[in-house]
Structure 1
Amino acid sequence: MKYLKFLIPLIVFACSSDKVILLPEVSNAPVHEVLDLSPAYLFYDTTAVNGVELNRRNLIVSTNWLVNVDKRLTLKQAIPEIQFIQFKKRDAGMHKNEAAKNYYSCNDTGIKNLGFIDFTDVFYHTSDSAKATIRARETIKSEHLAAKVDALSRITVSNLEGSLNLEDFIAYLSAQPLPKPTNLVLNLSENLTFQDYITLKAALIETDSTVVTVNPNEFIY
């Protein structure tokens, strides 16, 4: 019952607009309850510009935001819209609630209910934001591990030859020596689907944070 306040608006919205969002699936989302929330929707729509339609009419800046992204969208389609609403909240001024967070909604198959992934502190950088990308890369410490993700079956790590699939990549990260955690910088193909992205993020969240910390700057190429 604790999800009822969110599930009913989602069903009504989808039915009234004759549109449906296919949420990305994970088996172990890190968060299962979010209170004081308002939703945004990114629809997969082949008739819309760039194949994506954003509805953010219900967003209240002082609340936690649940961003519902169709898993079929690519990062090229979804990230500019996500950046747009991130900027709206970060630039909210006097109405801003510093404690409010942003979450991606997903279908947690492990509990057969909604799960959420926090992306409040993530800064996305695309080819359209060259100056911001340069500034962000300059802030990253020299001691870091870069991962280039062309696909979940093809992940290139900066200090390794060849490529890894996601399972081997996570195993490699988990085997990193202590005590200092590895600062991981993600470089993500714009052709990754949102399902691929959430699968990657969920796997990284499961990795021991004393071994690996994911840099908040994520680069889309």
Structure 2
Amino acid sequence: MKHLYIVFLLLFLSCNNNKVVQLPEMEQADITEIIDVSPAYLFYDETKKDSIELNRKTLISTTNWLVNVDKRLTLKQAIPKIKFLQDKKRNAEIHKNDAAKNYYTCHDTSINNLGFIEFTNVYYKEKQPENHNLKPNEYLMVCQTPLNIEVIGLDIDTLKTTLVTFSKDLKRLFPSFNETKTLQLFLNNKLSFQDYIGIKSKLNKLKEEELIIANDEFLFN
């Protein structure tokens, strides 16, 4: 299935005015094969004012959706289009399949093939974080427990380092304690989609029984 999809992707790109989606990269995806799929594409277009173009002509509402987002797009550019796709599927009244899911398509560098990150239940919202002193190019993560809220700002350079470094930064957020922890993401909308996938893929590897990653993800200016 993976190889068939790659062939389909190449055919689509070569027949569509030579437009190319540069997929975001990740290592060791948890999901590497999906059946019953249809794709959508978010192109980076330097010739347009907003530098983005959505093609969803090949989407079938009852299938699993593979959303191919160019890694050069920012969250500010990409997320409104993604929310549009989510709403179309969630609000469908006919030809609806509640078991069908949504995935971001990535290039898994560990196998040099496709990998996928599910975002079916993610809800993107706009909200400015309160009482923070973020430096430029930082994104904010909030860890909540029944008793307190802790905040950390991580810069892009830290994000691009190893998982070990990333993990150490998160450990400062939630050292070992008994309460269940909810990690709430506040994301700088200037982040590239590549950096966003980097955050998501690393968090997926750090999940623990005591750590819940909230479905609501907030974007701020």
Q: Do they fold alike, i.e. is TM over 0.5?
A: yes
Amino acid at match of 1:77: Q
Deviations 1:155-214, CA, capped at 9 Å, x for gaps: 8xxxxxxxxx745324445x6325443101101001000000000000000013313211
In structure 1, the partner of 2:156 is: 152
3-state secondary structure, aligned to 2:50: helix
In structure 2, the partner of 1:217 is: 216
Q: Do the aligned partners of 1:180 and 1:210 also contact (CA within 8 Å) in 2?
A: no
Mapped partners of 2:148, 2:53: distance in 1: 36
**Gap runs ≥5 in structure 1:** 128-139, 156-164
**Structure 1 residues 150 and 179: CA distance shift in structure 2, 3 A:** closer
**TM-score, with normalisation over the residues of structure 2?**
0.81
Superposed displacement of residue 13, structure 1: 1.2
In structure 1, the partner of 2:194 is: 195
Mapped partners of 1:124, 1:115: distance in 2: 22
Mapped partners of 2:59, 2:147: distance in 1: 39
Mapped partners of 1:152, 1:202: distance in 2: 15
**TM-score, with normalisation over the residues of structure 1?**
0.81
**Structure 1 residues 56 and 208: CA distance shift in structure 2, 3 A:** same
Deviations 1:142-162, CA, capped at 9 Å, x for gaps: 65756566643468xxxxxxx
**Structure 1 residues 214 and 146: CA distance shift in structure 2, 3 A:** farther
Q: Do the aligned partners of 1:180 and 1:211 also contact (CA within 8 Å) in 2?
A: yes
Q: Do the aligned partners of 2:13 and 2:20 also contact (CA within 8 Å) in 1?
A: yes
**Structure 1 residues 95 and 167: CA distance shift in structure 2, 3 A:** same
In structure 2, the partner of 1:42 is: 42
Deviations 1:62-85, CA, capped at 9 Å, x for gaps: 000000000000000000000000
**Structure 1 residues 154 and 115: CA distance shift in structure 2, 3 A:** closer
In structure 2, the partner of 1:115 is: 115
3-state secondary structure, aligned to 2:94: helix
The alignment covers a number of residue pairs equal to 199
Mapped partners of 2:22, 2:108: distance in 1: 13
In structure 2, the partner of 1:102 is: 102
1:67 matched to 2:67 = yes
Mapped partners of 2:53, 2:69: distance in 1: 10
**Gap runs ≥5 in structure 2:** 128-143, 160-164
Structural RMSD (CA): 2.4
In structure 1, the partner of 2:9 is: 10
Mapped partners of 2:50, 2:192: distance in 1: 14
Further displaced range: 47-56 or 83-92: 47-56
Q: What aligned pairs does 1:21-36 form with structure 2 within 5 A after superposition?
A: 21-36=21-36
**Structure 1 residues 33 and 214: CA distance shift in structure 2, 3 A:** same
Q: Do the aligned partners of 2:26 and 2:106 also contact (CA within 8 Å) in 1?
A: yes
Amino acid at match of 1:193: S
Deviations 1:81-113, CA, capped at 9 Å, x for gaps: 000000000001131111000000001111111
- Structure 1 segments, 4+ long, off by >2 Å, are 140-155, 165-173, 175-181
Q: Do the aligned partners of 1:148 and 1:187 also contact (CA within 8 Å) in 2?
A: no
3-state secondary structure, aligned to 1:92: coil
Q: Do the aligned partners of 1:177 and 1:211 also contact (CA within 8 Å) in 2?
A: no
